[in-house]
Amino acid sequence: MRLKDKVAIVSGAGRGIGKGIALKLASEGADVAIADINLQNAEKTAEEVRAMGRKSFAGKVDVRSRSEVGSFVDSAVKSLGRLDIMVNVAGVLTVESVVNLSEEDWDYVMDINMKGTFLFSQAAGRQMIAQGRGGKIICISSNGGKSGFPFEAHYCASKHAVIGFVRSLALELAKHKINVNAICPGYIVTDMHKLEISSWAKLQGKTEEDVRREALATIPLGRFGTPEDVAKVVVFLASEDSDYMTGQAINITGGNEMH
């Protein structure tokens, strides 16, 4: 177990990639605090973590709220003893052309994807500095953080911002032996991926199967990814195996993105 007795917080861990990461961290020996806007989903993930023999703590958190994020971090540390690993997963996607994009949708996507990452990283960084034992902060960006996609300008902007934030934070926290890295998943089969496919189909007047086939054709390895694919790399970044890595943005795209 590469993370035996470590303590992690995973935001957006009620389902999808976040849940896959939380369970993978637990399988490697970590106790995991589960933050999600949906408390019922958070509790379900926490129950699965406990069923694996690890401790867990679950809470409802709006990642756009400094007070809710700070309170959750404090409660998680009180419950689990400390904080070694922070994984920022909470994210949203809406699909619309720029000329028709509402200000509300722009703010919604930017606030959750970027502001939420900032707030949790800030709170976790403060806790890790106070502990004086270093730590790992891992932020989920996207292949949309390196390339642009039609109808997703606001999403791509938010994910590009995550990478810039990670690079700057890595420089600031290096002296505290806190590593900060980003992961850039490509097409990962989740509810968000299904929403993306259906939305693209409607906007382009195509069938969902046509859009899915076109997307798959852009992946050299010939398949869509899974939350497990992402979780494996998170474990690497959370472990001592990555101690000499910081400020990086790692692609998990099946070759769809190589930059």
CA angle 240, 15, 179 (to 5 degrees): 20
**CB-based burial, 85-94: b 16+ in 10 Å, e otherwise:** bbbbbbbbbb
- Among the listed residues 108, 155, 187, 244, the single catalytic one is 155
155 is catalytic: yes
Give dist(CA 231, CA 26) in Å, integer: 11
Give the residue numbers annotated as catalytic, written as ranges: 155
